[in-house]
Structure 1
Amino acid sequence: MDLDAYVAEHDGEWRRLEQLSRGRRLSPAEVDELLALYQRATTHLSVVRSRSPDPILVARLSRLVLTARATITGGRRLRLADAGRFVTHGFPRAVYRAWPWWSGVAVAFCALTAFLMSWVSTHPESAAAFIGEERARSLVESEFAGYYTEFLPASFAFHLWTHNAWLAAQCLASGVLIVPVIWLLWQNALNIGVVGGVMIDHGSADQFFGLITPHGLLELTGIFVAAGVGLRVGWAWIAPGPDRTRGRALAETAREGMVVAVGLIGLFAISALVEALVTPSPLPTALRIGIGATVWLAFLGYVIVLGARPRPEPADAD
């Protein structure tokens, strides 16, 4: 096949198809023309691939066919109104619907962490077993407080944001297996419990709670939400209910989990800013805790008020 002659013969059709695929509103006649040119372009692509697979021409026709197909099928574009509905309806509603799960996770996590703190603070030998005596002294003297001032606020906030978002993603993605979520929660409870117990045992409880509370309220709530929604996805597979198949129950709860995952990106960005800017600031401890508590209560109010509000039309995670 003479490739140059083939391109010269059909180049006008391809250019016209490219013009019609640019996303503008088409008249009925242009829609018919688009469909006809799309069908011809798919044939041209097949011919070129089978007879003279020039990589540049194949790439051009593949891109052209994919763009035209997207125009024909009418792929839905993200609009500002969609983002607004996500913020005011989608995310808070998905979080509110799962509140028994993440509230239960919060209660169990806090109870376990409090027990570990109490045990470590009243049994000093346990701290040595967990982290060693030298590490415990270093933690009290400088390491714990120094963690919040070691890096520049911007880089520290970005690190916190990505770390917490990744942890939440793990909880949501592994929720169908149940056990990985419980393991992740146990690791975090153990870490906080041991560190808190060591600080309390050495008379630094005010420093520990003064530094961890401002950002910890919102940050841990985000982790609780991710873990609770992940466990809810797993339970939907185990007990789908009388009116749903396992596949349907898993798909519906997993879609809501994806909504929560996107929303938590914003939550962790806020908690990272609080941890990087408020927690290590020279403000009085009461004021720093007050700022953190205000942000945390604002999030809970946002979820309760907007999430419980009835929708005027049927809505789902899609």
Structure 2
Amino acid sequence: MDLDAYVAERRGEWNRLEALTRRRKLRPDEADELVLLYQRAATHLSVVRSRSPDPVLVAGLSRLVLAARATITGTRKFSWTPVARFFTTTLPGELYRTRWWWITVGVLFMVAATAMVQYVAGHPEVAGVFMSDTEMNDLVSKDFVSYYSEYQAQNFAARVWTNNAWLTAQCLASGVLIVPVFYLLVQNLLNLGVIGGVMVGSGAGDTFLTYLAPHGFLELTCVFVGAGVGLRIGWAWIAPGPHRTRAQALGERARSGMLVALGLALALFVSGLLEAYLTPSPLPAAVRIAIGVLVWLGFLAYALLLGHFAHHRQGSADLDEDLGEAAVPTR
């Protein structure tokens, strides 16, 4: 192909296209002309690339085609509407749809934790398997309370947030394998049961509840949500349901899990602030606990009440039908 002749023949169209892309407003006939010239320039770029890939010409035509496409499609401006929709509809709807998973996990965990605290409190030798007598005495006399004021509040909040977010992320990510979720929950159950049992058995149960309740309700609920949603993801490839493959079911549940993960990151940030600023504060114990319970109830109302309306209003937060895979009958 004679590149010079090809360029000379079409240079006028390219110049006209460039002039149209620079205009702020176009008449209807100019808009039609812009679309036509854009289509031709895209064809010209394809021809040049395949037959005579001159780098300078390819770069110039690519820039022209991209500029014309941007003029035709327009630039998307930032809008708060999708952000508002996420927090008012998408996130609460997903929390509501997964409610039975994380509520079940939470109830079973708390029943097991309560039973373990009572058992360890009544059998001190069990705690001795995990801690020495000196460690138990230090825990009751100073370590449990001083833990919440050992660091500066802002540093402690960041540390707690990242630790809890990492634990919740592990529950979500490992849910596809199911077993690791139970391993993580058992680890936390042992930690809570042993420490709580030592505190209660030593007569410091009120201190244990006073320093755990202000942040613990919300913090543990977030962990339960992460574990429940993770197990829901894992169950998708075991029982995908009718009219979809295991890959489709797993993809749908994983996308749902990523939405919940974003919301949990924010909820755990609030929990971290409560643990760093409210739990060790000089406020009366009843006030601290009341604030923590109110925040927790607010989260439950957001997930269950607002989530109920969001679920029935939106239906599903998964990909639109035209963007997803076609459903096929499966056995």
Query: 1:315 Cα deviation (Å)?
Result: 3.8
Distance of aligned partners of 1:30 and 1:209 in 2 relative to their CA distance in 1, 3 Å threshold: farther
Partner in structure 2 of residue 122 of structure 1: 122
Partner in structure 1 of residue 88 of structure 2: 88
Query: Whole-Å Cα distance in 2 between the matches of residues 274 and 68 of structure 1?
Result: 52
2:89/2:314 contact within 8 Å kept: no
Query: Whole-Å Cα distance in 1 between the matches of residues 64 and 149 of structure 2?
Result: 52
Partner in structure 1 of residue 146 of structure 2: 146
Partner in structure 2 of residue 175 of structure 1: 175
Partner in structure 1 of residue 263 of structure 2: 263
Partner in structure 2 of residue 278 of structure 1: 278
Query: Whole-Å Cα distance in 2 between the matches of residues 47 and 279 of structure 1?
Result: 71
2:93/2:303 contact within 8 Å kept: yes
Query: 1:45 Cα deviation (Å)?
Result: 8.4
1:127/1:133 contact within 8 Å kept: no
Q: Deviations over 1:211-245 (max 9, x none)?
A: 00110000100100010010011111101123322
Partner in structure 1 of residue 205 of structure 2: 205
Q: Which runs of 5+ in 1 are unaligned?
A: 1-9
Query: Whole-Å Cα distance in 1 between the matches of residues 297 and 45 of structure 2?
Result: 57
Q: Deviations over 1:108-150 (max 9, x none)?
A: 1111111221121111111111122221111111111111101
Distance of aligned partners of 1:30 and 1:280 in 2 relative to their CA distance in 1, 3 Å threshold: farther
2:233/2:257 contact within 8 Å kept: yes
Query: Whole-Å Cα distance in 1 between the matches of residues 62 and 287 of structure 2?
Result: 59
Q: How does 1:42-191 map to 2 (within 5 A)?
A: 79-191=79-191
1:20/1:34 contact within 8 Å kept: no
Q: Deviations over 1:17-45 (max 9, x none)?
A: 8x969xx9995544555566667678888
Out of 302-311 and 37-46, give the one that drifted further: 37-46
Query: Whole-Å Cα distance in 1 between the matches of residues 162 and 41 of structure 2?
Result: 45
Partner in structure 2 of residue 316 of structure 1: 317
1:92/1:303 contact within 8 Å kept: yes
Question: Aligned-residue CA RMSD in angstroms?
Answer: 3.5
Give SS of 1:317's match. Answer: coil
Indicate the structure (1 or 2) with the bigger Cα radius of gyration: 2
Distance of aligned partners of 1:306 and 1:124 in 2 relative to their CA distance in 1, 3 Å threshold: same
Give SS of 1:283's match. Answer: coil
Give SS of 2:149's match. Answer: coil
Query: Whole-Å Cα distance in 1 between the matches of residues 63 and 123 of structure 2?
Result: 67
Give SS of 2:283's match. Answer: coil
Query: 1:249 Cα deviation (Å)?
Result: 1.2
TM-score by length of 2: 0.78
Give SS of 1:236's match. Answer: helix
Query: Whole-Å Cα distance in 2 between the matches of residues 30 and 271 of structure 1?
Result: 55
Aligned length: 298
Supply the AA of the counterpart residue of 1:307: G
Query: 1:312 Cα deviation (Å)?
Result: 4.3
Partner in structure 1 of residue 329 of structure 2: none
Distance of aligned partners of 1:161 and 1:44 in 2 relative to their CA distance in 1, 3 Å threshold: farther
Partner in structure 2 of residue 3 of structure 1: none
Q: How does 1:227-246 map to 2 (within 5 A)?
A: 227-246=227-246
Partner in structure 2 of residue 251 of structure 1: 251
Give SS of 1:308's match. Answer: helix
Distance of aligned partners of 1:173 and 1:78 in 2 relative to their CA distance in 1, 3 Å threshold: farther
1:161/1:272 contact within 8 Å kept: yes
